[in-house]
Amino acid sequence: MEALTTFQNICKAYSRPCYIFSEHYENSISLNPILEGSINQVVDRIMRSFEWSEPYYRDASRRSLTQALKKLEKEEKAFTLQAVFDELVQMESKENIGLIAKIEAILVSDFGKILNAEQDGLTLSKIREERACLYIGLSTQGYGETATSVGKLFLGELLHNSYKTLSNPIDPEAGLKNPISIFFDEFGSLVTPEFIELQNKCRGAGMELTLAVQTSADIDRVNPELTRQVIENAGNLFILKQRLTDSAQYFAESIGTVLSKKQTYRVENGEQQASGSEREVHELLVHSDIIKNLGIGQCVLLRQGPSKLNLVNVRNRKLDSAANHIRKKSVQVEQPL
């Protein structure tokens, strides 16, 4: 809840409207991540939010989901998870029972009651148009697979917002006139292979993405190639301490090398001789050992366009607060009676 409170205080300081979506927050808003989009787009959004091990049951579930959405559209009903679930139950079979169970798991969770806004409900697009701030809290520790699926639904909605913004026939640059910043904490919990589509197009859609992971291996578990794509397309890299040699070496090589000269000398009987050689070598700008030995709050910052490399001390507000408190007490003690 500390992150939520900090978010609210920042919004208040800048006089920005603030919305909270969290199963723990008493006044949480309701959102509907499948309200907007065509039938095909919504089908893709839902299907991408779940894990599928059998192609046959995945395709059968997709077919049932398409039929359910077509019926809702014909009856002029809003697309909600509850409405989709009700339609799927009526056509339940062994082929689509997996999809029914996955949607039901979300509906019976604490997220269910705040995920079924109707036509007049809030969506990410409406919140962006309002220029408001939104905090989405999904506890993967408390809800595991369910929270991950909900997070992927919102990621799919972001993809749709990017698509809708870029395909605006009236003003293709509308997104640049109303830019937004999106922050993903524990990004590895909700990343999908389709995320790279959002990252590649986010600049044109007026979206700034900030991703936080413990290590590159968090994305590797989805697809190692996706890790390379995400890092390759990142504008700035904040690299904090990495304990494993592989991770540290990966980022050291990502930062790059500099061309320098290396001199060697002959040694005879333990004494250095005047003769030797000199050759050009590519040396790492930041050795992996430096990354492995970064202190708390230290990070290597690599910026692109133009390239710039810095060692940064990240501000710790808790330590700042404690230091200020100690200084105030010290001043009070030193004051004469």
Is 0.95 surpassed by the pTM of this model? no
**Amino acid identity, residue 87?**
E
Q: According to the model, what pLDDT value does residue 326 have? A: 66
How large is the greatest C-alpha to C-alpha distance in the chain, in angstroms?
A: 94
Q: According to the model, what pLDDT value does residue 2 have? A: 79
Q: According to the model, what pLDDT value does residue 162 have? A: 93
Backbone angles phi, psi at 294, to 5 degrees: -65, 145
Per-position DSSP letters for 155-176, written without gaps between them: HHHHHHHHHHHHT-SS-TTHHH
**Mean pLDDT (10-residue bins), the chain, 337 residues:** 86 93 89 95 96 94 97 95 96 95 95 84 91 90 86 93 91 89 88 88 92 91 91 93 93 89 79 77 90 92 88 76 66 57
Per-position DSSP letters for 123-140, written without gaps between them: -HHHHHHHT-EEEEE--H
Q: According to the model, what pLDDT value does residue 178 have? A: 92
Q: According to the model, what pLDDT value does residue 274 have? A: 73
Q: For residues 60, 64, 69 and 75, what is the CA-based torsion angle, rounded to 10 degrees?
A: 160
